[in-house]
Structures are given as structure tokens and as C-alpha cells.
């Protein structure tokens, strides 16, 4: 629960002295092979994608929501480069305001001033929020599907970026200052939710519609405070009624914060993680388990965060607005100059731990930026990779410079029953000739694709000829040698 940026900063000055250096020659810097880029591409690309944006709507989020809305187009640009174009997509928005209720107890009916960080009852209850987005069919989420003929079928008017921008800014910055990010996510995605039905697509055996990928994107400048025992908000012996209660009772630091008393002490702390023994906050790992169990394959879940930086993590004394007494508060881990002045964010220990429970399916970037396009592009790139990106991202090494033309070194195989005890791997030959007329199909070759692989150094894509002969659930695993830069030696 924050009203203004702290007037505190850390600075340091370093200086280095260079003595005279002896005259020496420098070797030419040449590329050499040594690194390998790995690609894992489903034979049949699943183009169904459900994206839930969890947007912090507490005070201090106004500038960040505007930043998100203004740069969302970059995210869509990346998704549109997936082979076949923009996926068949659902996009929903839910806020962090879950009021004063916990999962095991109900707290006070209301605390604080509603509309200015106060909390009441169950808040937004995990309901998907469309605000004033131009949705045409009454659903609480954006839908942009592709039918069998490839025709787009949106349920909104205007552009997708503009429609989402209405939702992002509509979240506002007056919601509950005790943000229950993870609980709001869980309630929103809970099967049988009374208003959110249809958002999560888990496949339809009758129509053949495949189970969709599920992405959860956390946009927040404070850590999660998902309540188990809501007396955290009413027990006067727990300190000032500020969001630092969430940190003190929901996070443990092995260095300087092994218990709630130590967490309340001023100073830098290290090796911080969720307090799984907390009486007041929920166990973070349970949210990760819930999310994974929504899908037949946990690898179909992708998570991302645009949040405060995890470090530094420190407790300081700060005077809340309207008071004269300094109290323990979490030191802001990052800051930037927003449209109306300084903007800050706090270390998201609980949410970072949540992201870490999804190896190879998570990404993080700082919210302390005037331009969030880079972070959104990063999320788009991850989704593109998971869905299936044949573009070669690295600069491929020419392993035989003496032969005319580039000589690349790639090995490609077909994996069936991936991740199961009966997994099998079969080497896939290189096409001869290297085009659609190859006689040894199924096979592979590299081809130039300037449209879909525009950001790749060589504009190369991995092409499989005779793909229809492969098992529908198979994956293509490719490894290509890329260049590294040899360090100059004296």
C-alpha cells in the first residue's frame, strides 16, 4: 500500500588508475564454432493460446498501466510472427483486488478508503474485467480466433492493441493496497467460475479443437499478499496496517531475516524466499501446482512477470503520508522517472518464486522502465518459442570456410512420446536436394525466411519436407552450431 516514492537513494563512486602499458600487438578477432542452438518444435503446431493478465490496480500503478497499454502492440507484433500469424487467442484481465477475505478466514468488512487503496469484502472476486473495451458479444475477455479457412473472427471492434489498452487502463489505481495477485489468478481460472467460463480452453474431443496453451502474465510493482488468515488485516499487534505486514509475515530471509522479529529489523537481507510456515499468507507452491494441474501437460503453461527487481532486498524506516513517525518498510528495489515524477517498485520475492516453478516456461523483466516494449517483446518471444519457432536465432558457424558458400552443421531428429518412458528418437536426414522436391522425405533443410525470421541474423528457418509422414504428436529436435567470438589474445 503505497502513496509516494521514498526520498532515498544509494550511490557509490569507483575510480581506477591505469599504469603505462607495454607496447603489444592484438590478434585478429575471428569467429569460431563452439556453441549449439537447440530447437524443439512440435510437428503439429497448436495455435490456441489463452492469456491472463493479472494487473495490480493499487495506488502507484497508474503510470505503469499506461505504459503497458502504450506498448502492448509490440507484444502482438511478436506473436504475429509465429508461423501462420497471430494465434487463435483469448486475452483476459483480472485485478489484484480480492478485498479483505482470506482463504480460511474472513477479515474486516472494510479497511481504508475505497477507491484510494482501501479494501472491502471480496474486492473484484477474480472476475475477468472488460471495463470499457469494445467487446461485441458480451464476453468478459477479448477473443480473436481463426476459423478453418484462416479467417479471423474477433469479438471486438477496432484494433486488438487498442481494445486491450482500454482494459489495462480501466483497471485503475484505486484498488486494495494489500494485493492478492496469486489468489486472484487462481480464482479467475478456477474451473466452474460463475462468470469466467469459456476463457480457458481445455480441448473438445468432438470438434477436434486442441487444448490451448495457458499464459499468466503478472504486472505489478509490489509482491503478492494472498491471504490465508485475514486477521493479518485486523490484528493490531502485528504492527502498522501497511503492506509491510505481507513481507514480514510472508517472506523469510536466511541472511538477516530468519523469523518475523528479524524481518522487522532495518538492514539488508539476503537469500529471501516465501515463508511456507506463515500463519497469514498462502503457500506459493500451491498456486504453481494448481496452475500446472489445469493442463494435461504442465509444459502448456507459461508464466511471466513484469515486476520490481528481486534485489536489493532491505528494510528501512519510512514515514507514511499523513503521519510523523517512521516505521519499518520495504526498501524500493528499483525506480524510474514516470510521466508525473518518480515511480518505484518493490522486490517480488513470492512472485519470483512462483515464476521459478515453471522451468523453461518463465520470463521476467523489470517494471521500472519508461518503455515496457522490451519486456513485452521478451514475453512474446517466449510464447513464440513454446508454441513452435523454426527461426534460427543465433549466427550459424561456417564449419568449412574453404568451401564455397556457408557450410552449416546441424543435426535434426524426430522425438515421439516426448517425456514419457517410451520416448523414441530417430535421426532425420538432410533433404537432397534441399527443397520441396527432395526424394528422401521426411527430411530437413534450412531456408531463408525474411518475413517470419526478420530479427534473426541469417534470416534462416528450419523447414521439414514430408512433415505429413510424421506422427502427429511428434517433436522436431534440432541442434545447430553457432559462432562464438574468440577473445583477443596478446
pLDDT tens profile 210-226: 789 999 999 999 999 99
What is the predicted pLDDT for the residue at 88? 94
What is the predicted pLDDT for the residue at 13? 31
Q: Work out the pLDDT band at 207, boundaries 50, 70, 90.
A: very low
Angle between helices 373-388 and 62-79 (to 10 degrees): 40
Angle at 152 between CA 299 and CA 209, to 5 degrees: 40
Under CATH, which architecture does the 46-388 domain have?
Answer: 3-Layer(aba) Sandwich (3.40)
Answer yes or no: are the C-beta atoms of 301 and 295 closer than 8 Å: yes
Mean pLDDT of 144-173: 93
Mean pLDDT of 377-406: 92
Q: Please write the tens of the pLDDT for every residue from 109-142.
A: 999 999 999 999 999 999 999 999 999 999 999 9
Instruction: Say if residue 433 is preceded by a cis peptide, omega within 30 of 0.
Output: yes
Rounded CA-CA distance 183/169 in Å is 21
Q: Please write the tens of the pLDDT for every residue from 432-465.
A: 999 999 999 999 999 999 888 888 899 999 999 9
Q: Work out the pLDDT band at 45, boundaries 50, 70, 90.
A: confident
Non-local (6+) Cβ contacts of 417 within 8 A are: 423, 424, 473
What is the predicted pLDDT for the residue at 247? 97
Classify 270 as helix, strand or coil.
Answer: strand
Domain boundaries, the chain: 46-388, 391-485
Share of residues in the chain with pLDDT > 90 (%): 78
What is the predicted pLDDT for the residue at 81? 86
> Grid coordinates in use for 42?
512440435
Answer yes or no: are the C-beta atoms of 217 and 351 closer than 8 Å: no
Q: What is the DSSP string of 198-245?
A: TSS---BTTTTBPPPEEEEEEE-SS----BSSGGGGT-GGG-SSSTHH
Q: Please write the tens of the pLDDT for every residue from 280-312.
A: 999 999 999 999 999 988 999 999 999 999 999
Mean pLDDT of 328-348: 95
What is the predicted pLDDT for the residue at 18? 34
Higher-confidence residue of 337 and 203: namely 337
Q: Please write the tens of the pLDDT for every residue from 68-96.
A: 999 999 999 999 988 788 999 999 999 99
Answer yes or no: are the C-beta atoms of 262 and 21 closer than 8 Å: no
pLDDT greater than 50 at residue 26: no
Amino acid at each position: 500500500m503505497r502513496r509516494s516514492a521514498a526520498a532515498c537513494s544509494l550511490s557509490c563512486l569507483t575510480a581506477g588508475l591505469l599504469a603505462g602499458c607495454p607496447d603489444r600487438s592484438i590478434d585478429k578477432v575471428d569467429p569460431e564454432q563452439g556453441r549449439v542452438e537447440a530447437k524443439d518444435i512440435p510437428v503439429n503446431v497448436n495455435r490456441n493460446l489463452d492469456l491472463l493478465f493479472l494487473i495490480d490496480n493499487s495506488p502507484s500503478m497508474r503510470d505503469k498501466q499506461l505504459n503497458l497499454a502504450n506498448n502492448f502492440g509490440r507484444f502482438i507484433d511478436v506473436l504475429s510472427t509465429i508461423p501462420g500469424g497471430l494465434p487463435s487467442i483469448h486475452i483476459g484481465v483480472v485485478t489484484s483486488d480480492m478485498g479483505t477475505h482470506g482463504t480460511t478466514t474472513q477479515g474486516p468488512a472494510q479497511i481504508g478508503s475505497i477507491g484510494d487503496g482501501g479494501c472491502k469484502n471480496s474486492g473484484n472476486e477474480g472476475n475477468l474485467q472488460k471495463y470499457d473495451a469494445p467487446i461485441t458479444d458480451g464476453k468478459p475477455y477479448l477473443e480473436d480466433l481463426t476459423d478453418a479457412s484462416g479467417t479471423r473472427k474477433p469479438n471486438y471492434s477496432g484494433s486488438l492493441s487498442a481494445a486491450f489498452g482500454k482494459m489495462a487502463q480501466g483497471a485503475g489505481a484505486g484498488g486494495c493496497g494489500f494485493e492478492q495477485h496469486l489468489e486472484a489468478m487462481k480464482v479467475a481460472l478456477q474451473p466452474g467460475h460463475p462468470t469466467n467460463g469459456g476463457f480457458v480452453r481445455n480441448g473438445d474431443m468432438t470438434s477436434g479443437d486442441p487444448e490451448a496453451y495457458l499464459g499468466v502474465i503478472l504486472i505489478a510493482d509490489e509482491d503478492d499478499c494472498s491471504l490465508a488468515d485475514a486477521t493479518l488485516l485486523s490484528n493490531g499487534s502485528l504492527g502498522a496496517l501497511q503492506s509491510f505486514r505481507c513481507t514480514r509475515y510472508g517472506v523469510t530471509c536466511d541472511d538477516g531475516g530468519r523469523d518475523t522479529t528479524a524481518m522487522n529489523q532495518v538492514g539488508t537481507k539476503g537469500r529471501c524466499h516465501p515463508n511456507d510456515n506463515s500463519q497469514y499468507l498462502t503457500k506459493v507452491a500451491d498456486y504453481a501446482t494448481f496452475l500446472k494441474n489445469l493442463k494435461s501437460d504442465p509444459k502448456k503453461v507459461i508464466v511471466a512477470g513484469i515486476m520490481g527487481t528481486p534485489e536489493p532486498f532491505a528494510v528501512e524506516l519510512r514515514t507514511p503520508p499523513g503521519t510523523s513517525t517512521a516505521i519499518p518498510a520495504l526498501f524500493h528495489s528499483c525506480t524510474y522517472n514516470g510521466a508525473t515524477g518518480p515511480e518505484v517498485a518493490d522486490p517480488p520475492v513470492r512472485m519470483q518464486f512462483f515464476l521459478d516453478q515453471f522451468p523453461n516456461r518463465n520470463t521476467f523483466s523489470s517494471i521500472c522502465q519508461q518503455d515496457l516494449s522490451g519486456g513485452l517483446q521478451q514475453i512474446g518471444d517466449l510464447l513464440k518459442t513454446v508454441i513452435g519457432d523454426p527461426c534460427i536465432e543465433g549466427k550459424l558457424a561456417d564449419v568449412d570456410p574453404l568451401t564455397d558458400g556457408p557450410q552449416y552443421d546441424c543435426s535434426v531428429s524426430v522425438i515421439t512420446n516426448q517425456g514419457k518412458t517410451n520416448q523414441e528418437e530417430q535421426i532425420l536426414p538432410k533433404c537432397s536436394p534441399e527443397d520441396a522436391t527432395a526424394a528422401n522425405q521426411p527430411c530437413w533443410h534450412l531456408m531463408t525466411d525474411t518475413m517470419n525470421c526478420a530479427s534473426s541474423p541469417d534470416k534462416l528457418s528450419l523447414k521439414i519436407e514430408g512433415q505429413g509422414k510424421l506422427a502427429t504428436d511428434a517433436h522436431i529436435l534440432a541442434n545447430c552450431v553457432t559462432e562464438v567470438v574468440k577473445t583477443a589474445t596478446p
